[in-house]
């Protein structure tokens, strides 16, 4: 087995990357994504008339919960003590834009947490609206920034 893969140990077994020698830093990451909706769906979301409830609020809470659950969802991700998770779902003329910002003090970045927050928030919107909108499309999930600052 090739030893060039950083996630494999000496015997070729999967492992987490060892970050113990890295310095703790303030780390942030932000992400965004979009779900395209039909005009009638947008109207119902705006009027809070979707049968499953308040789509915007539920999606934002789902995104926050997802960011906190990343090590349980994505193999080899480190468990991080997140100090801030912000998820915003904004209704636009053709759908809902979701953005996230995640922050921690740690030895590794929070990109996966930011991306997962957006992804799960968008999937929550999809789930809540699927009975009335068969043409929804999730688009353009992407990392929009990341920083690390010395303590």
Tens-place pLDDT, residues 30-66: 999 999 999 999 999 999 999 999 999 999 999 999 9
Among 18, 54, 94, 127, the one annotated catalytic:
127
Distance of alpha carbon 148 from alpha carbon 108, whole angstroms: 9
Q: Mind listing the domains of the chain with CATH numbers?
A: 29-150 (3.30.70.640)
H or E segment at 68? helix 55-68
Range name among 3-7, 61-65, 81-85, 116-120 with the lowest pLDDT average: 3-7
- Torsional sign, CA 34, 91, 53, 32: positive
What pLDDT score does 117 carry? 98
Asked about 9 being catalytic, the answer comes back as no
Considering only CA atoms, give the Rg of the chain.
18
Q: In 3-state terms, what secondary structure has residue 95?
A: strand
Query: In terms of pTM, does the model score above 0.75?
Result: yes
Rounded to 5 degrees, φ, ψ at 105 are -105, 115
For the chain, give the longest Cα–Cα distance.
58
């Amino acid at each position: 087995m090739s030893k060039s893969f950083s996630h494999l140990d000496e015997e070729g077994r999967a492992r987490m990357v060892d970050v113990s020698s890295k310095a703790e830093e303030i780390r942030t990451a932000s992400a965004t994504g979009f779900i395209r909706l039909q005009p009638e769906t947008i109207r119902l979301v705006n009027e809070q008339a979707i049968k499953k409830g308040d789509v915007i609020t539920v999606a934002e809470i789902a995104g926050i919960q997802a960011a906190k659950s990343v090590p349980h969802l994505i193999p080899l991700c480190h468990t991080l003590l997140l100090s801030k998770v912000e998820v915003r779902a904004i209704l636009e003329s053709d759908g809902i834009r979701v953005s996230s910002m995640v922050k921690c003090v740690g030895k590794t970045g929070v990109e996966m947490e930011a991306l997962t927050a957006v992804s799960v928030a968008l999937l929550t919107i999809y789930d809540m609206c699927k009975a009335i909108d068969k043409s929804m499309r999730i688009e353009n999930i992407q990392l929009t920034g990341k920083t690390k600052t010395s303590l």
